[in-house]
Amino acid sequence: MDDPMADAYIVRDISKTTEGSWRWTHLHPELRFYLRQTSGAKQAVDFSVPEATFKDTGPVTITFRVNGHVLDKVLCDKAGNRHFEKAVPSAFLRAREDNFVAMEADKKWVSKDDGAVLSFLLTRAGFVQ
């Protein structure tokens, strides 16, 4: 997320500023990726649920979608770093087009100070072979 080109992949609800190598996600974080080919593609995401928000929200389930299709749901039953990687069915993907990856937490944290709505920290996301 700290790559200078990261903003080109962000569709919505991901902080415009980095905090080191990660960014906050908000209500409906979404990214786009252009894929030349779709066979053998896996979605890979590095993220974390920080202790500061987890103490208020408790366990959080994050739903991963590719082009509107639910790929998986991951229960985060404790704060900390996570790596998600899962093969994406070819039927979910479009070759030589943008593909949209959405990640949504079932619980959000709202700042008592400024009302900011935060979900989780996103470090890396994309497709791997």
39 near 127, Cβ under 8 Å? no
**Phi-psi bin for 12: left (phi > 0), alpha (psi -120 to 50), beta?**
beta
Q: For residue 30, what is the DSSP state?
A: E
* Letter string b/e over residues 102-121, b meaning 16 or more CB atoms within 10 A of that residue's CB: bbbbebbbeeeeeeeebbbb
Residue 17: CATH number of its domain = 2.60.120.260
In a domain, 93, yes or no: yes
In a domain, 123, yes or no: yes
Domain total of the chain: 1
Give me the domain span that covers residue 33.
Answer: 6-128
User: For 11-58, how does the pLDDT look when each residue is reduced to its tens digit (9 = 90+)?
Assistant: 999 999 998 899 999 999 999 999 999 999 999 999 999 999 999 999
In a domain, 54, yes or no: yes
Query: Which residues, other chains included, contact 112 with Cβ-Cβ below 8 Å and sequence gap of 6+?
Result: none
In a domain, 88, yes or no: yes
User: For 83-107, how does the pLDDT look when each residue is reduced to its tens digit (9 = 90+)?
Assistant: 999 999 999 999 999 999 999 999 9
In a domain, 1, yes or no: no
